[in-house]
Structure 1
Amino acid sequence: MSRRGLLLFMTVSVLWGVPYLLVSVALEGLGPVSVTAGRVTLGALVLLPMAWRRGLPRLLRERWRPLLLLAAVEVAAPLTLIAVGERTVPSGLAGVLIATEPLFILALGLFWGKRRRLARGAWAGAALGFLGVVVLLGVAGTGTGAVLVWAAAACYAVGAVLMHRLFPDVPPLTVAAGMLAPAAGPLLAVAAVTEPAPQVTARVLVAVIGLGAACTAGGFTAFFALIGTEGPARAAFITYVAPVVAVAAGVLLRSEPVTARTVVGTLLVLAGAALAARRPTAAPLPDAPDVPALLDRRPGKEQNVGRRLVEGSHDAEADVQPL
């Protein structure tokens, strides 16, 4: 990996590993929907000028229906689920649970998309990852919050499949802005109606600004640059580094406890995701699901994610999961 690639890799690892920590800080003064609305609005405002010059007006005009679907499945639903779940789930554990997204994509590939031969060990990876989730769900104090965060990973997986099918010809930065912008207004309205007045402190404000401007908009931009520098295969290793950053940030900055169950569950999830995301070595067959291209990517958006939309000559373009 080049020096520039290594710098970008480290940058994205941080920007996509710390959102869970920032969400937990923002929840000190805001409701979960308000946290989501704030980060989505700021992220959209940062990305819109760049996306506007890359054909966003035409995209909004011609494909507004699929963009609304993605705004719901890929932005509003998972980010809100993560924020609600983190009221009881430590930020590091939330980051690990989101890392199960490749397992959901593997399952979706059985019913949706072109059919290819699965990589050897893919189902073993799915089993390991599921076992890891079972272990993590038993961590004391997580309650139903862990289930909500895990559901967010499933939403991200559905969004990845939709993006792969609906926008194979559009720059991912443009799609990202096109998803964030429609989600911002409804989230702000729901937050205003359903949640109490925010208690905004300097600490909470910094967390929200970091989530929107740095982790969402900055994370997208840095990840696209990493794809262009090193290609999608190497960039996909973010999938396994970001959760480690999330755990480390929670322990060092929030003094979150690390139990034996947390360590074992984390290792099982990361090992399972790595096996599930392996590419097949054989040629495509007509009787197996087409999931490898979608699995070669990062989970979590918060993570929002990268999602590879174009292969071959378009290796510089990447699929994206919002953080």
Structure 2
Amino acid sequence: MTSASLIRLFLLAAIWGGSFLFMRMGAPVVGAVWLIESRVLLAALFLLLVALVTHRALNARRHWRHYAVLGVVNSALPFLFFGIAAQTLSASLLSILNATAPLWGMIIGLVLGYQKISLRLISGLGLGLMGVALLVGLDAHLVASGAGLAVLSALAAAFCYGVASNYARSAPKVDSFANAHGSMWAATLLIAPLMPFFPPPSQPGPDIMIALLLLGVVCSGMAYLLYFRLIADEGATSALTVTYLVPLFGVLWGTLLLDEVVGWHTLFGGLAVVMGTFLVTGVSWRQLLPSGGQSHG
């Protein structure tokens, strides 16, 4: 991996780790539905601006069904589930539970016949489940506050990402930027009908408004651009290593900016989840080492 790509990788992990910080700030104030509708709409508008400037076609008439599927399983549902969970759970815990997505993808792949059982996969799944058990079972605050449904909601979000990764195996071959752009508009249209059933929040303070703006434009719109650049430069497998780095930044931002307390069970549980994901995806850490060659910086 080139030095420029390595910088983009860590920047992307920092941004996506920050998304859980902003959801944790916004969800208790504006609610999950209004929070996520703001997120996907702002992302869609930002990507529309980029598409107009770079003359990238969406081809919505041809691929609208594909965008609708992605909008459901890769944006609308997981974002809503995380929005619900963020009303209760810490940003640190949300970011770690998000890292279980490849584990769910592996389980779904086994059921559908895309994956074959191996010692590496079973070991990764076992480590991941042990990590979740440590995170949830030993957190007295979760037990006391009855946050079990919030944990299930966060895991359901990660499960949706596992569904999306398996759908990608048979999905139409569409440009990655168009996938992001089209799916964000699809998610916007899919969530909009829910809004009348939830009272609009009172005027949020400036800090919440800034969090919503950053969540939509930076953590969704700009992050996709960074991710697609990584895929183009280094390949999908190397870009996937961002999965291991996001929890590190999620815990860091939650600790520094929200004064979240990180216990030993959070550290060891998070490490088990990340290592389980590492085994399941089979990515080599050598792919993170800077390599020679021309930089695209």
Fold agreement, TM-score > 0.5: yes
Equivalents in 1 of 2:182, 2:83: separation in Å? Answer: 22
Equivalents in 1 of 2:235, 2:241: separation in Å? Answer: 11
- SS of residue paired to 1:29: helix
**Could you list the runs of 5+ residues in structure 2 that have no partner in the other structure?**
285-297
Residue 96 of structure 1: how far off its partner (Å)? 0.3
Matching residue of 1:7: 7
Residue 163 of structure 1: how far off its partner (Å)? 2.6
- Contact 1:136-1:261 within 8 A present in 2 as well: yes
CA deviation string 1:267-320 (max 9, x = no partner)? 11011111111169xxxxxxxxxxxxxxxxxxxxxxxxxxxxxxxxxxxxxxxx
- The match for 2:239 among 226, 232, 235 is 235
Q: Among all aligned residue pairs of Structure 1 and Structure 2, give the percentage whose two residues are the same amino acid.
A: 29
Residue type of the alignment partner of 1:161:
N
Matching residue of 1:314: none
* Alignment CA distance shift 1:68-1:229 (3 Å): closer
Deviates more, 1:42-51 or 1:72-81: 42-51
Residue 263 of structure 1: how far off its partner (Å)? 1.4
Equivalents in 1 of 2:212, 2:86: separation in Å? Answer: 15
- Contact 1:89-1:141 within 8 A present in 2 as well: no
- The match for 2:165 among 156, 160, 168 is 160
CA deviation string 1:127-158 (max 9, x = no partner)? 11011111212223331211110110001110
Matching residue of 2:92: 92
- The match for 1:278 among 252, 275, 282 is 282
- Contact 1:129-1:268 within 8 A present in 2 as well: yes
Residue 51 of structure 1: how far off its partner (Å)? 4.3
More helix by share: 2
- Contact 1:29-1:199 within 8 A present in 2 as well: no
Residue type of the alignment partner of 2:162:
A
Residue 247 of structure 1: how far off its partner (Å)? 0.6
CA RMSD of aligned residues (A): 1.9
Equivalents in 1 of 2:119, 2:237: separation in Å? Answer: 18
Residue type of the alignment partner of 1:166:
A
- Contact 2:84-2:153 within 8 A present in 1 as well: yes
Residue type of the alignment partner of 1:128:
L
1:128 matched to 2:127? The reply is yes
**Could you list the runs of 5+ residues in structure 1 that have no partner in the other structure?**
281-323
* Alignment CA distance shift 1:55-1:119 (3 Å): farther
1:66 matched to 2:71? The reply is no
Equivalents in 2 of 1:264, 1:198: separation in Å? Answer: 40
- SS of residue paired to 2:111: coil
Equivalents in 2 of 1:118, 1:259: separation in Å? Answer: 34
- Contact 2:17-2:250 within 8 A present in 1 as well: yes
Number of corresponding residues:
276
TM-score for the superposition, normalised by structure 1: 0.80
Equivalents in 2 of 1:101, 1:233: separation in Å? Answer: 15
CA deviation string 1:32-77 (max 9, x = no partner)? 1111000000001111244463331x2x212322322221222111
Matching residue of 2:291: none
Runs of 4+ with >4 A deviation:
117-120
- Contact 1:240-1:274 within 8 A present in 2 as well: yes
Matching residue of 1:30: 30
TM-score for the superposition, normalised by structure 2: 0.87
CA deviation string 1:62-107 (max 9, x = no partner)? 2322322221222111101101111111011100001001111111
Residue 113 of structure 1: how far off its partner (Å)? 5.3
Residue type of the alignment partner of 1:3:
S
Matching residue of 2:289: none
Residue 114 of structure 1: how far off its partner (Å)? 4.2
Deviates more, 1:193-202 or 1:5-14: 193-202
Equivalents in 2 of 1:63, 1:206: separation in Å? Answer: 33
Equivalents in 1 of 2:223, 2:210: separation in Å? Answer: 17
- Contact 1:22-1:208 within 8 A present in 2 as well: yes
Deviates more, 1:198-207 or 1:34-43: 198-207
Deviates more, 1:67-76 or 1:234-243: 67-76
Equivalents in 2 of 1:114, 1:151: separation in Å? Answer: 21
